[in-house]
Amino acid sequence: MYLDKFKKYLLHEKRYSEHTVNAYLTDVSQFDKFCEQTNTSVSNVSNELLRQWVVKMIEKGITSTTVNRKISSIKTYYKFLYRDSFIKQNPTIKLSLIKKKKTLPNFVEKDNMNFLFDNIEFSDDYIGFRDKLILAMFYNTGMRRAELINIGIDDIDFYKKTIKVLGKRNKERLIPLSDNLLNDINNYIDIRLDLFNKENNFLFLTEKGKQLYPKAVYRVVNKYLSYVTNIDKKSPHVLRHTFATHMLNNGADLNAIKELLGHANLSATQIYTHNTFEKLKKVYKQAHPRA
């Protein structure tokens, strides 16, 4: 009962995306199972039980980032329950996020990305054109995977050279497109419209003409990044990091990158300055005679 109401709250009041809502519900469901194992009801959760839950996750080797996400989900859930008078007091008020080790975002080097687009062969068919365009869209725009999946053909303005994407919390933003990318998009659309139902407006489709799904996009990115880099993570989000890092390294203003990425505040974008500084230190050590 509570979960259904919580889902409506996240969708209609918080206006979170379906992907985000599912993540919240998964976290809350897992916590509910933990409570069941200890014979504890939703309304009788204590600070001690919450600490036990956090400790158990850490002991399982769950990363601090994931633990903090789950903590945030539970805090949001209980804040909702208290607000709507389903419980008399909120047990998560004193529940804090755990400290996490700061890590720099992974990105692919510029030469490797150039090699990917200039030297790696893609099949000369719909899948080949589609996969290469997926990679180019990520690298040239910095958009998120969910944003790419939901792009419609009508979202591309060839005259103004922009693409409209729907970001987190249904916030729209326009991203400029280069002439080369627009040309690739145009060639792909010609092939795509010849093969599939024109009534389906989604830009990226499966080989069966259905809307592309998240795992399929991940497989495409992972496959082709494996040809050009040895970094551990080879995901669509790595291409988002790569876009931001390369833009910053080439002199782009941090506020401009923030707008292109669709970040709500500048602090989320500033992490890319660390990558730039690490590069400066590397250059310094290589170039200075007494470094």
Active site residues: 144, 168, 237, 240, 263, 272
Locate 33 and state its tokens: 């199972």
The span from the CA of 244 to the CA of 248, in Å, is 6
- At CA 141, angle to CA 137 and CA 147, rounded to 5? 75
Tokens of 5: 């109401």
- Which residues are CB-neighbours of 284 under 8 A, at least 6 positions away? 291
CA-only gyration radius of the chain, Å: 22
CA atoms within 13 A on the CB side of 32: 13
